[in-house]
Structure 1
Amino acid sequence: MMNWNMTMKRNKLTVLIPPTPDNVNASEWWPVKSDVNWIETVYSDNKPAPSKLQGVDVFIGTDFTYEMAKFADKLKAILIPAAGYERIIADALPNGAVVANASHHEAPIAEWVMMVAVALDHKLLQSHKTFVTGLWDHWPGRYGPYRELFNRTFGIIGFGAIGRRVAKLAKAYDMEVIASGRSNNHSQIAQSLGVKYCWGKQGMKEVLSRSDFLLVATPLIPSTLNLIDEQALASMKKTSYLINPARGNIVNEYALYQALKEKKIAGAAIDTWYKYPTEETDQPRPSTHPFWELDNIIMTPHHSGGTDGTRNRRAQTVAENIDRLTSGQPLINVIDF
């Protein structure tokens, strides 16, 4: 009995977290089964003060820098309560430290994708804006007929969890779905979903040129930075729409703005951006280019996956990894840098 208690005491992890909501303790917010030493501290620009990493076994956060590494003398794991890991500097990681993420956002993001696809195609925001002022400009008797999603082509770049979930919903609208990825690893699951799957550069070209709606659903890694550039946008149909809930910098900022301004594509819905707040009260514009002046874009503040369900599922995965680390089991969702 004594040996068991000593082992448990020795394995008690110190975990660094941002403050939990009022009247919610850390073990409720991150539902661990293990006994944990929680350290709460304010994060600025998604990061704690670097010195707060000293003596910490587990850091829950989305960013890791060289300066933070200087103090990470005991760090065993960085647990990201999100999908993206592009703000973790791999070269700064201490020897032996593991990074694991937690996605679980594909359901609400897919709902957002189909919502904006319909809204773009039916000029929903423009119709509302004019009709509430008493104008009938978007009445079909004056505007003309609208298009429909039925029997159109939905293209997906990146066939991970988000891409597959969107494919299921698009198929429910009786759309043709085509997708592309870097390799043919997803061919079998695509076939099971009734999706035509292409891979490599040629596959991406086909998806770009054939799609009426183009979803960007790939992670931001060095090879996908500016993946959708001026040339890619030029290969899209003039009547097509681009939808990006992935990461802003996958789509070249200037090229996208010019394509929308010059009506080289019909429109876009963008949820992920190029500039973000770094403090609690700052209100930066999301781009150096005035997308907000355009009439063919839907802009949202990176909220497509920001639901209670997403947060709860991610917290459960983070908590499971803390329990696994405590008991010496392999972590799940480990990132291979």
Structure 2
Amino acid sequence: MMSKAKVLITPQASFGKFSQAEEILRENGIEPVFPPYPHPLTENQLLEVIAPFDALIFGLELLTERVFEKAKNLKVVSKHGVGVDNVDIEAATRRGIVVTNAPGSNENAVAELTIAFLFMLTRHVVQLHEDLRKKQWGKMVGMELEGKILGVVGTGRIGKRVAKKAMALDMRVLGYDLVPDQELASHPQFQYTDLEQLLQTSDFVTLHLPLNEKTRKLINRERLALMKRTAFLINTARGGIVDEKALYDVLKEGRIAGAALDVFSQEPPFDNPILELPNVITTPHIGADTREAVRNMDEVSAKNVILVLQGKPPLHSVNFHLLQKEDVHESSS
């Protein structure tokens, strides 16, 4: 790097709070800069500030073709997390911009929130807490998790962690994934099945898939209709995996017992009628918000930026291999 590079960091409320990532960037000749807007930035806010930067560490911002067109100096965008469904990968690749992420950095945090939702749903924690604050000493009969069936849709890093934690609670676990995990498959409490059978059989269904064209609204009206009336849906993955209008209808009509949602198709979801339902627990996309996960995401996202700006392969990337192929093609032409 001939002159000092600059990286725009949008998750300013958390970045560097539990790590030395800012110092590491500076030690490598990269100046960290925080935007004058709260995270996540809108597209227009990004367009206002992105032009001079060589790198971007981002969270929930939408990185559109317009953003990449404006970012003439941009060489790398580094996700402060895992999912990159908010990035126009094709547009970035066309402009030679490396898109990186941090798989594994928050898997335990998301898995633990999922398990927390299981307890909150079965023991009516939120409702009883609110009742007591209103000086209402009521009781609600819950149910135990032991012996119940958890359906895990997507058994990648996070889904696998959830399955293991559930089996430690003596739950039975059904899994659905196009690529089965052999370690899970060998466990006596675990069984792979098809999606329809999983939905029909499970007492709880938890989603752990990336959002893409194949998974968008995977849990639609027809599939929700397969679930038992006593079953609960948990989503700590991406809101777009669920048809939210269909979910609202089945929850309102009592065709499933309830849901716990950390993610929504539009965030923040202030106009989403699901927020008004009494049989839903909602949180504001906090799955990765633990000190340990934030530290991990800080360090990996910063390291990815440093490596790319040094002309080296990043730790993790979704398009670096494509850019390498283009470089080879161009050099041989």
**TM-based fold match above 0.5:** yes
In the alignment, what sits opposite 1:233? 224
TM, length-normalised to structure 1: 0.82
In the alignment, what sits opposite 2:50? 53
The AA in structure 1 aligned to 2:166 is A
State the 1:334 CA deviation. 0.9
In the alignment, what sits opposite 1:196? 191
In the alignment, what sits opposite 2:326? none
Which one of 161, 169, 191 corresponds to residue 165 of structure 1? 161
Distance 1:46 1:83, change over 3 A: farther
Q: Is the 8 A contact 1:213 1:240 kept in 2?
A: yes
Structure 2, unmatched stretches of 5+, are 323-333
1-side partners of 2:36 and 2:183: how far apart?
Answer: 42
Q: Is the 8 A contact 1:16 1:58 kept in 2?
A: yes
1:187 aligns with 2:184: no
1:150 aligns with 2:146: yes
In the alignment, what sits opposite 2:28? 34
Q: Is the 8 A contact 1:20 1:29 kept in 2?
A: no
Q: Is the 8 A contact 1:208 1:235 kept in 2?
A: yes
Three-state SS of the structure 1 residue aligned to 2:181 is helix
State the 1:41 CA deviation. 2.7
The AA in structure 2 aligned to 1:157 is V
Q: Is the 8 A contact 1:34 1:326 kept in 2?
A: no
1:113 aligns with 2:114: yes
2-side partners of 1:115 and 1:19: how far apart?
Answer: 25
In the alignment, what sits opposite 1:6? none
State the 1:38 CA deviation. 3.5
Which one scores higher on RCO, CA 8 angstroms, separation ≥ 6? 2
Three-state SS of the structure 1 residue aligned to 2:163 is helix
Three-state SS of the structure 2 residue aligned to 1:88 is coil
In the alignment, what sits opposite 1:5? none
State the 1:120 CA deviation. 1.1
Distance 1:39 1:301, change over 3 A: closer
Distance 1:322 1:232, change over 3 A: same
The AA in structure 1 aligned to 2:24 is P
State the 1:52 CA deviation. 3.3
Q: Is the 8 A contact 2:7 2:33 kept in 1?
A: yes
Identity of aligned residues (%): 30
State the 1:267 CA deviation. 0.7
Structure 1, unmatched stretches of 5+, are 1-8, 141-145, 278-283
RMSD: 2.7
1:285 aligns with 2:276: no
Q: Is the 8 A contact 2:57 2:302 kept in 1?
A: no
1-side partners of 2:23 and 2:223: how far apart?
Answer: 42
Structure 2 counterparts to residues 1-337 of structure 1, below 5 A? 9-10=1-2, 12-18=4-10, 20=12, 28-29=21-22, 31-32=24-25, 33-43=27-37, 45-47=40-42, 48-50=45-47, 52-61=49-58, 62-93=61-92, 94-103=94-103, 104-130=105-131, 137-138=138-139, 146-181=142-177, 183=178, 185-192=179-186, 194=188, 195-198=190-193, 203-277=194-268, 285-287=270-272, 289=273, 291-336=274-319
2-side partners of 1:244 and 1:19: how far apart?
Answer: 23
Three-state SS of the structure 1 residue aligned to 2:180 is helix
2-side partners of 1:326 and 1:71: how far apart?
Answer: 19
Aligned length: 309
Cα deviation code 1:173-206 (max 9, x no counterpart)? 101111111x2x33313225553223xxxx1112
The AA in structure 2 aligned to 1:13 is A
State the 1:139 CA deviation. 5.7
Distance 1:158 1:58, change over 3 A: same
